[in-house]
Amino acid sequence: MAGGSSVRSKAKGKGEDNSRRSIPPDEDAANLHQLEAQHGILGIVLLLFCGTASSYLCTYLPEALTTADLSRHPTAFIAERAWDNLQVLNDFGPKPTGSEANELGAADYIRREVEKVKATAHAAQLVETSHQIISGAYPIAFLGNPLTSVYRNAQNLVVRLAGQENDGGSLMLNCHYDTVASSPGASDDGGSCAVMLEILRVLSRVPERNRHAIVFLFNGAEETPLQAAHGFISQHQWAREVRAFLNLESAGSGGKEQLFQAGPQHPWMIEAYGRAVRHPAAQTVSEEIFQSGIIPSDTDFRIFRDFGNVPGMDFAHTINGYRYHTRYDTIDYLTLPVLQRTGDNILALTRELANGDELSRAASDTSLSEGYSVFFDVLGLFFVHYSASTGRIINVTLAVLSLLLPLMELCRPVRRVGERNILKQTLVGLLGTVCGTAASLAVVLIIANRLDAVGRAMAWFSTPYLILGLYGCPVILVHCFAHRLCNYWFDDKKTVLNLTQTVRSRLIGVNLFWTLLIIPLTLANIRSAYIFVVILLLSLLSTILTSVLGYHRQPRRWLALHLAFQVPSLLWATKFYHLLLKLFIPLTGRMGAGTNPEYLIGLLVAGGGLLCISYLVPLVGLLKQTSELTARLTVFAMIAFLLGCCTQVGFPYRDESNGEPSVQRHYVTHTLQVAHRNDGPVVKNSGFLLREMDRNAVRVIRGVAKPSEAVPMRQMETCRTMLFCGVPFYSIWHQIRFNNYWIEGPPPALEKHTLPTFDLVSVKQQSTTTRQYSFSITHRYQTCVQSALIIAPRSGVQLVAWSLMETVPGTMEFNGERAHFVLITYGLADDAPWTVTFDFEYDPEMALSQDGGQKLFDVSWVNTYWEYANKHTDDFRKFIEQFPNWAHVIPSVAVVNITAY
């Protein structure tokens, strides 16, 4: 009895074990087992194919319409007509504010074109024009440093196309026709102005008015920075009716116009964009990157937002940023399709906004202004947008489902016996992804450090494909090694899972990795989490379809389905690789030398690599061996290192000989320093000030300086004797963030009668502790000159009021000294002097100077000529000619006068 019972018990237990495992025989029979090593190369081929396809889609532009198409498309944007306008603006050459080319040439041309539009407008349309000449001032800060921006006689050319509703608000389109010195500005921003002229021409000729008025603002002082926009939004009578704006800009030379910031809030504008635009190019991540301050640029969007409280959209071309603000920003490097695509989109969006309900409601309906949007285009094919609150729900829901559904689907065949093994392999997949990510970040930082240490920084600057070998291959290798090591460390010989189920469990670990990233980003209100959510969504859809089709029992079909869903995933991921690298690679040429740019590029590739291969790398567990895959990746990496470090391919810069210039930038200022001592001799120094614009610039600067020595700015002798080192201080960005170098030299040639003057007119003692100083400023000649006032109150003295504006911003610090910084830009010349007053409050005892007088403050009066080539000395010309032909030199001449009052 006892023995029989024991036997039955054993038999029952054995039967229960078999029923629990219950692995279908076809699963074992059809088990994928392992793939040959060469199959691993297919993953790389798939990655490269998708990368090539997404690159094409990122740069694809529609065919352009010409005047021959006008009869068939009478209300369409015609790129050829815009091109004709752009050709004239381009031929004026550089047009910095204050130059004859800008104030007399470009301004007069645009005014004439507007008059032609007015003359040819349909009888039903009312075209009003305004030539605004404005002076003003406003406080603004860059890099946390306050400055006062002052403009005198800047110009705005404003056109108003009347709407059916006179009190319903208006839409504004904005461009700027001025440029930086030494750049014709065909893309930045002549192309935008040409687009606006054509849109104005098209809309003025239709037989019916738009519902709302449209204001076209052609502003003549944006690069100064952002001054004419302030003059319009704060002073023009039409500014009060503007309810929304479209700002057309450029940070490159061609390509698609990217919507890179919108609002703030006002989600209805994104909704209108989605309805109207045929060729979308918009990413929330672009907005969050730009507003982080990492990009050394700003636009009129900031002025309209901060000083007009007007919502808007900011568009910019970003491809080929190498040409931005250089002599190569010409019409020769643009194409008609660039104008056509921009014109089609902006015209459609203008019509949508100008005929919608929102403009009339925007002033009174606060619900329109509430909430942020998540928005993105999918490979330029269609546009997706939803509210940030909806995005939080989507993110969390998909994150949870991406874990629950795959686990439920995978646990069914193995029941309770294998659930623990699935969870274990899920954690192995998570660990492999985490280790691969951490190791890839470490590897790219080490590579970046070593490349910089051996003097090969920015080898990829002109040949971006080197990045794939220098950083991309090591990133993939490290991820493969990480997963193989985890497989080796946590290999379980007793597992009830077959190889396919093990790999699928590890893919759930990848889902867990993205979930652990998405949830914190969502909680932190980082809307760019949508990038990872789309990757997770495609993985989830793959799992659902696998279950619906029953492919979980057919490993080869499961693998084919998994790879099929990786195609859109890779297209999505490689799009961001292209988008970010095409933006940031040219940016490294103007971000200064303070940070190694290799770190930035390496980190971008590590992040992009993770996005691309996170669902591919776990598949290495299906390979019999990975030696062939790793060997080929190693060979590719070695070839890239040899090309980058040992051949001319890795030289960062190119001239125009290959049709794709990518130059090194150099600002060179021929400077005269004049210090007026108290009842003593006037001290004069002269030389050349050079700015280190990128990581390699100092070697070129020192080579050009020989046999003289290039002295770091803060080591100059004048840093001990003159306010703010006596340098021609005009840009907080360039002087504070960048390294500058000084080379002693002969003085520049100056036409002193053309210099703006800063003369003391009177001193008035208002009380025992307050004194007012009056100065006269004149600018009588039409020259491109920019002034700066650096006012440094002495100990016990405070600047409490001035006539520039109602408030006095705080001081900025440089070289251990604090001073108020005022930037003054001149548009049209004016014979009449301009009087400014400064009120200083002081402690009479502390303000006594050593000679018994009462000097309350020091002033550095800086004047910089930007277009002065015909007055350059022979020494300056020879100095500039020493720069190589792959360098873009922006020359200027400056005089610094330092006086105590």
The DSSP annotation for 383-415 comes to: EEEEEHHHHHHHHHHHHHHHHHHHHHHHHHHHH
pLDDT tens string 337-385: 999 999 999 999 999 999 999 998 888 888 899 999 999 999 999 999 9
The token pair that represents 724 in the structure block: 């703010």
171 Cβ neighbours under 8 A, 6+ residues apart: 212, 213, 214, 215, 242, 243, 244, 245, 246, 350, 353, 354, 359
pLDDT of amino acid 454: 94
- SS (HEC) of 634-680: HHHHHHHHHHHHHCHHHCCCECHHHCCCECEEEEEEEEEEEEECCCC
Q: Are 700 and 884 in contact (CB under 8 A)?
A: yes
Task: Return the closest-CA partner of residue 865 out of 828, 896, 833, 835.
Answer: 896
DSSP per-residue string spanning 312-363: EEEEEE-TTGGGTTSTT-SGGG--HHHHHHHHHHHHHHHHHHHTSSHHHHTT
- pLDDT higher than threshold 90 for residue 846: no
Burial class (CB in 10 A: 0-12, 13-18, 19+), 715: exposed
Tell me what the pLDDT averaged over the chain comes to.
91
State percent of the chain over pLDDT 70.
Answer: 94
- The residue type found at 764 is K
Distance in angstroms (rounded) separating the CA atoms of residues 451 and 517: 31
Using CB atoms within 10 A of its CB, is residue 759 exposed (0-12), middle (13-18) or buried (19+)?
exposed
Which residue did the predictor score with more confidence, 7 or 148?
A: 148
Question: How many other C-beta atoms are found inside a 10 Å radius of the C-beta of residue 160?
Answer: 20
The torsion region of residue 94 among left (phi > 0), alpha (psi -120 to 50) and beta comes to: beta
Query: In whole angstroms, what is the distance from residue 122 CA to residue 158 CA?
Result: 19
Rama region for 726: left / alpha / beta (φ>0; ψ in -120 to 50; rest): left
Q: Report the SS3 class of residue 897.
A: strand
| Residues contacting 312, CB < 8 A, separation 6+ | 172, 244, 245, 246, 247, 262, 263, 269, 301, 304, 305
What is the pLDDT confidence band of residue 24, given thresholds at 50, 70 and 90?
very low
Model confidence at 596, in pLDDT bands (50, 70, 90)?
A: very high
Task: Please state, in angstroms and rounded to a whole number, the distance separating the CA atoms of residues 372 and 386.
Answer: 9
Quote the CA–CA distance of 506 and 211 in Å, as a whole number: 58
DSSP assignment string, 99-147? SHIIIIIIHHHHHHHHHHHHHHS-TT--EEEEEEEEEEEEEEEETTEEE
DSSP summary character for residue 300: T
Q: List, for residues 181-199, the tens digit of each pLDDT value.
A: 999 999 999 999 999 999 9
Per-residue model confidence as pLDDT tens digits over 811-832: 999 999 999 999 999 999 988 8
The pair of structure tokens assigned to 191 is 């192309």
Residue 137 neighbours by CB distance under 10 Å: 22
Q: What is the residue whose two structure tokens read 């009120």?
A: 839
Q: How confident is the model at residue 853 (pLDDT cuts 50, 70, 90)?
A: low
The encoded tokens of residue 293 equal 């301050």
**What number of other Cβ atoms are within 10 A of residue 714's Cβ?**
14
CA distance 154 to 506: 63
Q: Name the residue with tokens 């890099």.
A: 143
Kindly state the helix (H) or strand (E) to which residue 797 belongs, with its residue range.
strand 797-802
Structure tokens, 510: 């990848």
pLDDT over threshold 50, residue 26: no
Q: In which band, very low, low, confident or very high, does the pLDDT at 873 lie, cut at 50, 70 and 90?
A: very high
Task: Note whether 213 and 91 are within 8 A (CB).
Answer: no
304 and 310 in contact (C-beta within 8 Å)? yes
- The DSSP 8-state label assigned to residue 65 in this structure reads P
Q: Quick check: 775 pLDDT over 80?
A: yes
The span from the CA of 727 to the CA of 740, in Å, is: 10
Is 761 in contact with 774 (CB distance < 8 Å)?
Answer: yes
Q: Give the residue from 285, 301, 278 showing the smallest Cα distance to 375.
A: 285
| pLDDT of 848 | 56
Q: What is the structure's pLDDT at 269?
A: 97
Is the pLDDT score of 89 beyond 80? yes
